[in-house]
Amino acid sequence: MAYWMFKTEPGDYSFEQLLEDGSAEWDGVRNHQAARNMRCMRKGELAFFYRSVVKPGVVGVVRIIREAFPDPADPRFVQVEIEPVARLPREIPLAEIKADPRLQDLALVRQPRLSVLPVSDAHWRVLCAKAGISLP
């Protein structure tokens, strides 16, 4: 199983809104590398939900429930559908992520402008432990 991270600005779409909606189509991605990441996602895989700009950090976990399909606004790009799994019992601030030597090669640290990122198994375990959760 692969792991991922979705980044969003609170004014665009929040984890609270996802919890209220129950699911969402993750659309509007116009970066080719981020779109390639979305094309690799498989139904059932898990991802972190990252809030940027205001108190940046990892705030929740989501599941891919529909694999990549054309974005109606621009069919050259794709979108996926996600559902919330859990709000993290402890949010993981970006400053803490950047300060941890075990996370220095995490895509979030290396490519901070990328909106959809892969997360390695090792990074997933470290972040889950920091958040106080145990997920596969």
Q: Which residues contact 22 (CB under 8 A, 6 or more apart)?
A: 83, 84
DSSP 123: H
Each residue's pLDDT tens digit, 15-67: 999 999 999 999 999 999 999 999 999 999 999 999 998 899 999 999 999 99
pTM over 0.75, yes/no: yes
Domains in the chain, ordered, with CATH?
3-131 (3.10.590.10)
